[in-house]
């Protein structure tokens, strides 16, 4: 994208929708992931709530730690799916921009 095209793209509905949806997805996700992560060291270091054994000798602390890996995989998958829609909106934004005002391409 060249700068001259950028102003055109930034005006399009698709671009505004793209920015809005990216934020709506990314901000809550990142906040949730960070909170989910930080609770593990806090709980395991400063409290005893994760000390119980659940499956055989595997403790709550280990289960919580393993859950972080599964969280990462699940969110990666969700983002992957969502990003396909972002790409689609980005493509639309380009189209709308080139169909509209001046185009120096």
Binding site for other proteins (CB under 8 A): 1-4, 6-7, 9-11, 15-16, 18-19, 22, 26, 29-30, 33-34, 37-38, 40-42, 44-46, 50-51, 53, 55-59, 61-62, 65-66, 68-69, 71-73, 75-76, 79-80, 83, 86-87, 90, 93-94, 104
Smallest separation (angstroms) from other proteins to the CB of 78: 10
Smallest separation (angstroms) from other proteins to the CB of 88: 12
Q: How far apart are CA 40 and CA 2, in angstroms?
A: 45
Enter the tokens of residue 81.
């799916």
- CA 56 vs CA 17, 53, 59, 63, 74: distances in Å: 50, 7, 8, 12, 26
Smallest separation (angstroms) from other proteins to the CB of 75: 6
């Amino acid at each position: 994208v060249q700068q001259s095209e950028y102003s055109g793209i930034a005006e399009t509905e698709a671009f505004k929708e793209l920015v809005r949806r990216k934020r709506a997805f990314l901000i809550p996700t990142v906040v949730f992931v960070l909170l989910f992560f930080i609770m593990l060291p806090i709980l395991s270091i400063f409290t005893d709530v994760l000390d119980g054994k659940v499956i055989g000798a595997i403790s709550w602390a280990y289960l919580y730690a393993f859950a972080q890996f599964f969280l990462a995989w699940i969110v990666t998958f969700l983002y992957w799916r969502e990003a396909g829609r972002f790409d689609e909106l980005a493509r639309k934004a380009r189209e709308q921009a080139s169909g509209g005002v001046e185009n120096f391409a």
